[in-house]
Structure 1
């Protein structure tokens, strides 16, 4: 970021990054006022007044003001087994991670799948993740893994 102007703080709502606050940028500093925390955000601008252009990696800002950036380390991976939702048990799921270079979610191949779980061994460390049933994207939130737990965020309305 090396310009000045209007910027947007976005949250991942309804399967896309949605602006939730407008702020201003001076050089490399972006300022937003009266924004709640404890969610996952990304900063964007819209230089031609159209599509959003992402300026940062996604990050989690907690209620204490601590910020964790999600810059995936594809050279360091981890394994994890995800449970499937009860009413969608036998359907194939797709795990995506936010690829900071392409500024989009990229799918990961699973290693094994069963009726109630799906396992991966190739999840990049420090990645923002999204686990979906491709033809039934309903109430599926972005999340991250911390130790052996899935940490999700609520929708911002």
Structure 2
């Protein structure tokens, strides 16, 4: 998104709609200076902001970003996520972006590659904790039983 073409398309689309930068910024609920950073190519918006910009300028993200050609087929989960994002209002998009960043940074897999049941690492179905790696298990004294 850092290419000059993106910022040129942003400015051109606003002009097509006869919108001054100040008006686009107002409709986006951001300062004119922040919007100017996007138009000038000095900054890139996060996903939620990009989607808001597209909504205000009545353009698809692909068109604004200059993505041509056919989009490869997506799996069911990706299509479901895309549909959910499209249905959200701008207030919820920021929250969704924050949650996605948190999920992306959170280790959701045990060492054997199996997905954990929840954020606390426990299983949702049984309420049990995930197995500890052998290096973390407490050793028992000889002659004691469990």
TM-score where L is the length of structure 1: 0.21
Q: Which has the higher strand share?
A: 1
Q: Which has the higher helix share?
A: 2
